[in-house]
Structure formats: C-alpha cells, structure tokens
Amino acid sequence: MTAANVIFCGIVIVTLTGAFLAVWLKNVFYNALGLILCLFGVAALFIYLDAEFLAVVEVIIYVGAISIAIIFAIMLSRPWFTQHSRRDPAKLSRALISATLLFAGLVGVLRETHFPSVESGDVSIAGIGKSLLTTYALPFEAVSLVLLVAIIGALVISSPKERS
C-alpha cells in the first residue's frame, strides 16, 4: 500500500465520518459541523478527479455560504434547547433497513455494471468556461434566473410582517 493510497483512504474516512456525524448526532449544531467536514472531504475528492475548479466552488459555496446559512438558521431557531426527544427504535430500525437495502442495491448494481473507459478530452477551466458560454448558455441564464427568484422568494417568505 503506497503513501498516495493511504492519503486517499484518509480523505475517504474523513468524508464518511463527517457524513455519519451529520446524520447521527442529536445536536443539530454538531450536524452542521459534520456536514462541513464531509464537504471538505468531497472537495478533496474533486481534486483527485481533475476538477480543481469544482473543489474551489464546493468550498466557497457549500462551506462558505450554504453551511453558514444553515448554522444561521440553527442559531435563529434554537432547536437544541427545546428538542431532545428520544429516538423511536421502530422508526430508527425502519430507516436503517431502508438505507441498508438501498446501499446494498447500489453496490450490487456497481458490481454488475461494466463502465467503458475513455481518456481523452480537455479538463481545463477554460473548457468549462467555453461550454458554459456557448453550448450551455441557455441553462446558465435559466439557473441565474432561478437564483434570483429564490432570493426574492426567501425575502418575501421570511419578511416579519404577518400576512392574513
């Protein structure tokens, strides 16, 4: 086992540990911190996959914006004081069984499928920019419109005045 393999395994373990902490712990604030750990791990995996730009995007948008917004909402709603309800074992086992079945199914499909390997292509950031502004210009504009509508919608929904 080479050093590169050990580092890769470390990143995988960090990612999966973060994901586990993000779903298992009862304190929602710790969940958000686990999510941040997991997102850093996914960003490192993106670097392994020749997608440096996406790694930076992942850290800036997910860690810098989305996780901070989630922590902001946790702070505003104080759920960890009011909600320490006990876990229902029946519900827990149902969720565990469904997730395990899903995982087993996915692993089975992965083992059966043969993925053809292709090695050519332009992996540079310039290639991404070119295709965003030529082939995928229309979806790009649509996504910007969606973001604008989402911002306006969030402002309208969370405005403090009571609507009748």
d(CA 66, CA 42) in angstroms, rounded, equals 15
Q: According to the binding rule CB under 8 A, does residue 123 interact with other proteins? A: yes
Minimum distance, C-beta of residue 68 to other proteins, in the bound complex (Å): 10
Please give the radius of gyration of the chain, using alpha carbons only, rounded to the nearest integer: 21
Token pair of 16 as six digits: 């999966």
Per DSSP, the three-state class of 83 is coil
Among residues 28, 37, 56, 63, the one that binds other proteins under rule CB under 8 A: 28
Q: In the complex, what is the shortest distance from the CB of residue 49 to other proteins, in angstroms, rounded to a whole number? A: 5
CB of 24 to other proteins, least distance (A): 8
Give the shortest CB-102-to-other proteins separation in angstroms.
5
137 binding other proteins? (CB under 8 A): no
The site map against other proteins for 55-94 (x = CB under 8 A) is --xx--xx--xx--xx-xxx-xx-x--xx-x-x---xx-x
Spatial separation of the C-alpha atoms in residues 20 and 119, rounded to whole Å? 34
For other proteins (CB under 8 A), the number of binding residues is 86
Judged by CB under 8 A, which of 86, 90, 120, 161 binds other proteins? 120
For residue 40, state whether it binds other proteins (rule: CB under 8 A).
Answer: no
44 sits near other proteins (criterion: CB under 8 A): no
Quote the tokens at residue 85.
């309800």
Question: What is the distance of C-alpha 101 from the center of its chain?
Answer: 22
Region of residue 163 (phi > 0: left; psi between -120 and 50: alpha; otherwise: beta): beta
Centre a 10 Å sphere on the Cβ of residue 58 and count the other Cβ atoms it contains: 20
Please select the residue that binds other proteins; options are 110, 112, 138, 161, rule is CB under 8 A: 110
Using the rule CB under 8 A, is 5 a contact of other proteins?
yes
| 90 token code pair | 């029946």
Is residue 143 close enough to count as binding other proteins by CB under 8 A?
yes
Q: Find, among 76, 67, 79, the residue nearest to 34 by Cα.
A: 67
